[in-house]
Structure 1
Amino acid sequence: MIKVFLVLLVFSFLPTSFVKAQQLNVMFLNPGHPSDNPTGHFWPNVNYFMQEAADDLNINLKTIYANRNHILMKSFAKDVIENKPDFAVIVNEKGVATSLVNKITAQKIKVFMLLNDLTNEELNALTPEQREYYAGSLIPNNFDAGFTLAEQLHQSINFSNSDSQSKVNILALHGDETSPASIARAEGLQSFITDNRNINLIDSTVANWSKQQAYEKVSGILKHQKIDIIWAANDAMACGATSAVINAGKADSMLIGGINWDDDIPLGRLSVSVGGHVTLGAYAMVLLKEQWLRVSKAKRVKHSIFQHSNVEAYETFMTALKQKRFHRCDFTQFLSNHTKAQTFSIENLICH
């Protein structure tokens, strides 16, 4: 009893820096906004899942937000270097990652890529020493997301159309021209179009992930084009397109879908949404904890997480997200050395 008391006494007088050193420290450079914004709820929700997992895994998580400003994002290397975390989590949007990785790894701080990885060319350009501090990546299969969204929309319009051989006019709204996720989703869409000869891509434009920009662009295109399907690379743009279609009085003749599973969208507002990847920040916490514990090594992971909103789990998941009930989930169960280790999936995340 006396020994236990002495141990507790010693720990109570340890400096904060020592206690912090015993905890995994992670810094997340979030490219989005911390709350409601024109690009949707995706990035605030990414952070929500990361924090829930960090709490369960005893990880000290600090997040800074770029508010969709890639110039500001580049300056975050200074913040990381000042904080000296064990890992910096970076999203490769609009090509900013290379500069960040170069500066951060030069200070012997490990970097982990989330949702948008370095390209193979960017990775190969790293020096051997930089490569030592590249802690891997976690991305979803964005090609599949783009393909699945087009497939679900196409199936829906064929189901309601007596002449399945007639041409189907698709308008595509892309996020940007440089992010790996945006490029891969566009490639998925193009693959589906190539496989289906009755599809006519009448226009393809970038709306910068923005609800307002999508609204403005679709409003203009509707004045001179007949559209059957609007394919959007995220839900915010899909919602902007929906508003434009409603204002034009054409809501009954069009199917609109997006990607993200944003929780601020009323049920039925979109014809279909593809998502699930909003949870991957939580899985990143699991992978980093395993590296820190030396249970696993750095690796590039492409995780099959995407599902469409017509699956049974969708409504249950979205209800839990809106009510912020994922604190009920034990994220330690996704550690590979857990006694009852589970696969990281939408179904296993739903805790009633």
Structure 2
Amino acid sequence: MLALRACALLGLVWVGVDALAQRVAFINPGKADEFYWAGVARCMQSAAQDLGQTLDVHYAEREHLQVFQIARTIVALPPPQRPDYVVVTNDYGTGPELLNIFEGSGIRVFMAYSKPTTEEMAHTGLPRRKHKLWIGSLEPRAQDAGYLTARALINQARTAGLQAQDGKLHMLVIAGDRSTPSSIARNDGMRQAVREAGDVVIDQEVYAAWSREKATEQASVLYQRHPQARLLWAGNDLMALGAMSALEQRGGEPGRTVLFSGINTSAEALRAKESGRLAALAGGHFITGAWSLVMIHDHYNGHDFADEGLMQERRMFALFDGKLAQALRARLGPGCDDVDFKRFSKTRNASLRSYDFSMERLLKDTPKSNERFTNERALP
């Protein structure tokens, strides 16, 4: 009888802990089998486990209108079943309407990866004003990714002597989409590097909607149309890999015939960088979702991030060489399981005064296994 009472009391304790856990939903704009967005979700699950949160991930499968249906389904839940917080993105400009859908639901909204544009904010206002439960946003400084990869691509092309007969370096651009703020910012960073270089001509820019297959098709046409182009900048790794495949189908050799750059850190892209097939690769922003959960955890526990800004833009991208690529794969693995996200929380660390969400800090921080990694090179 005493044992039964003890078990019953223990059960009550666990019920209490579950009731106090922060319940978070994430409307994932990507596909469940898509390396980048599936990796985002895995890292968020690792962070949630560390921080005592429950996380439900809902995939929109790259159907950007589907995010509205997911949001309406969440709002339609009985109040006791609704999450405390929802993490959304502004992919394809869906953020403002998502704020409207969640208005009055009692669910706090956190926007990750991309915030509303300046034009959109004329309607949304700032967080915690018109939409009082929109508590804030966190996005990686996407210009860095475009700038770092384009600059590295240009420098390597100069070293290799890939100028055309006119003395210029001719570059092709395969961008993501025209409306997602992070896509626009990556392109802006790329163009800044081109302007600074002074000897680079962009022969043509196309949009492949982040698709490897579409980039393969587009690149085949671009190579025929612009045979003098020896550089190709891509807005993500999948599009770069697709363009590389199109070159190989023509008998070319990535890394020699044409130099490529990409953004994101899929295993295939990291291997391509290590082998030299990719001339330049930047990444690290996949961790934004996990960092968002750290900020939500602190907000829930009375450590508001407002003193550092309601709409935060943080440096998260690193330019990878072979050693840093190896360090990333060894440290983070497939799902950030080796990262102790409690170390980055103000709730869990009273002495922590400001967030540091940089890739350098993440890779240098002591992992759960207490292994030490050496020969890691930080961003210049």
Deviation readout 1:255-275 (Å, 9 max, x if unpaired): 001111112333334222110
State the shift of 1:129 in Å.
6.0
Say which of 230, 233, 236 aligns to 1:231: 233
- Name the counterpart of 2:87: 89
Deviations 1:201-224 (A, max 9, x none): 000000000000000000011112
Asked if residue 78 in structure 1 is aligned to residue 77 in structure 2, the reply is: no
Q: Which runs of 5+ in 1 are unaligned?
A: none
* 55-64 vs 189-198, greater mean Cα deviation: 189-198
**Equivalent position of 1:61 in the other structure:** 55
1:1-352 equivalent positions in 2, closer than 5 A: 9-10=8-9, 12-13=11-12, 19-35=17-33, 37=34, 41-81=35-75, 82=77, 83-126=81-124, 130-161=130-161, 166-226=167-227, 227-251=229-253, 252-265=256-269, 266-267=271-272, 268=275, 269-298=277-306, 299-310=310-321, 312-321=323-332, 323-324=333-334, 326-337=336-347, 338=349, 341=352, 343-350=356-363, 351=367, 352=371
Offset of residue 348 of structure 1 = 3.6
Contact 1:113–1:136, Cα closer than 8 Å, also in 2: yes
More divergent stretch after superposition (43-52 vs 232-241): 43-52
Q: Which moved more, 1:338-347 or 1:282-291?
A: 338-347
Gaps of at least 5 residues in structure 2 are 372-380
Could you give the per-residue CA deviations for residues 217-253 of structure 1, whole angstroms, max 9, x where no partner exists? 0001111212111000000000000001111122222
2:112 and 2:357 map into 1 onto residues whose CA distance is: 15
Aligned counterparts of 1:246 and 1:14: Cα–Cα separation in 2: 61
Q: Are the structure 2 counterparts of residues 275 and 162 from structure 1 closer, same or farther at C-alpha, using a change threshold of 3 Å?
A: closer
Q: Could you tell me which amino acid in structure 2 is paired with residue 30 of structure 1?
A: N
The alignment partner of 1:204 has SS state of strand
2:356 and 2:7 mapped to 1: Cα distance? 37
Deviation at 1:10, TM superposition (A): 4.4
CA pair 200-288 structure 1, distance change in 2 beyond 3 A: same
The Cα of 1:199 is off from its aligned counterpart by 0.5
TM-score when normalising by structure 2: 0.83
Query: CA distance change for structure 1 residues 241 and 12 in 2, over 3 Å: closer, same or farther?
Result: same
Contact 1:105-1:130 at 8 Å conserved across structures? no
Q: Alpha-carbon deviation of 1:104? A: 0.7
Deviation at 1:282, TM superposition (A): 1.2
The amino acid of 2:260's aligned partner reads: I
Q: 206-215 or 334-343, which moves further after superposition? A: 334-343
Q: Could you tell me which residue of structure 1 aligns to residue 376 of structure 2?
A: none
CA distance 1:107–1:159, change in 2 (3 Å): same
Larger deviation, residues 296-305 vs 227-236: 296-305
* Structure 2: distance between partners of 1:309 and 1:179: 24
- Which letter maps to 1:344? F
- Aligned pairs, number: 343
Report deviation, 1:183: 0.6
Is the Cα–Cα contact under 8 Å of residues 331 and 338 in structure 2 kept in the other structure? no
CA contact 1:256–1:271 (8 Å) conserved in 2:
yes
Secondary structure of 1:201's counterpart equals: strand
**Higher normalized contact order (CA 8 Å, seq sep 6+, divided by chain length):** 1
Quick one: structure 1 residues 261 and 108, their matched pair in 2 at CA, closer, same or farther if it must change by over 3 Å?
Answer: same
| 2:284 counterpart letter in structure 1 | G
Query: 4+ residue runs of structure 1 moved beyond 6 angstroms?
Result: 5-8, 162-165
